[in-house]
Amino acid sequence: MLAPERLVGLHFFNPLPHQPLLEIILPSGQVPEGNRHPCCGFAARIGTIPLLLRDTPAHLVHRLTLTYILQGISFLQQGMPLKAIDRAGRSFGMPSGPLELADGIGLDECCRLAEAMEKAYRIRIPVLLYDLVRQGRLGEKSGQGFYRYRRGTRLKPDPEQGQQWEGDEKSLQEKLVNEMLEEASICLEEGIC
């Protein structure tokens, strides 16, 4: 007998030793209640941190991460220097800037996730993301995205990427992070986790 109400999704992050979060996506109709689910015990046994979620497009972490990435791409599309955008994210305390992160995930994967979010949440996808994917600039895996790579190592940026920016880094940080915080607030209001 099939029991779809017992099916859960497990979303591991990569690399697992450095990213111990485990999103546990509950079946449709089930609401996350603390850590009261058999999968939470499983998560603890394998050394991960469980996060119970309702089933939604892009889940929680990708939804927040993509918000950060798309905001960074929008800034680049508006003419802000690439290095300033990534530096603002890192100096705020993020492990990497939004454009570095996009290159690591893969711009095609970012585009796929963004399209799923666009349908569900009516977000706007920067045209620049589509342009880069059409050009085959997929990030690290293709050797070029926002940055250039050789054998998995990022090369020195092109001269135009090194241009100085006279803007307020604190203001840029706030814009990058506030967008993500607003999305997190919406997720809480929707009861996703």
Q: How far apart are alpha carbons 163 and 42 in whole angstroms?
A: 49
Instruction: Render each residue's pLDDT in the chain as its tens digit; 193 residues.
Output: 577 777 888 888 876 677 888 888 887 777 666 667 788 888 889 889 888 888 888 888 889 999 999 999 999 999 999 999 999 999 999 989 999 999 999 999 999 999 999 988 888 999 999 999 999 999 999 999 999 999 888 987 665 555 666 778 888 999 989 989 999 999 889 888 7
Q: How far apart are alpha carbons 9 and 22 in whole angstroms?
A: 10
- The residue assigned the tokens 């890192």 is 90
* Residue 150 confidence (pLDDT): 92
Task: Give the helix/strand (H/E) hosting 50.
Answer: strand 49-53
* Residue 75 confidence (pLDDT): 95
First to last CA, the chain: 30
State which amino acid sits at residue 151. Answer: R
For 147, counting Cβ atoms within 10 Å of its Cβ (0-12 exposed, 13-18 middle, 19+ buried), the class is buried
* Residue 123 confidence (pLDDT): 87
Cβ atoms 154, 147 nearer than 8 A: yes
Query: How many other C-beta atoms can be found within 10 angstroms of the C-beta atom of residue 166?
Result: 6
Q: How far apart are alpha carbons 93 and 91 in whole angstroms?
A: 5
Q: How far apart are alpha carbons 106 and 92 in whole angstroms?
A: 23
* Residue 71 confidence (pLDDT): 96
| Coil/strand/helix, residue 139 | strand
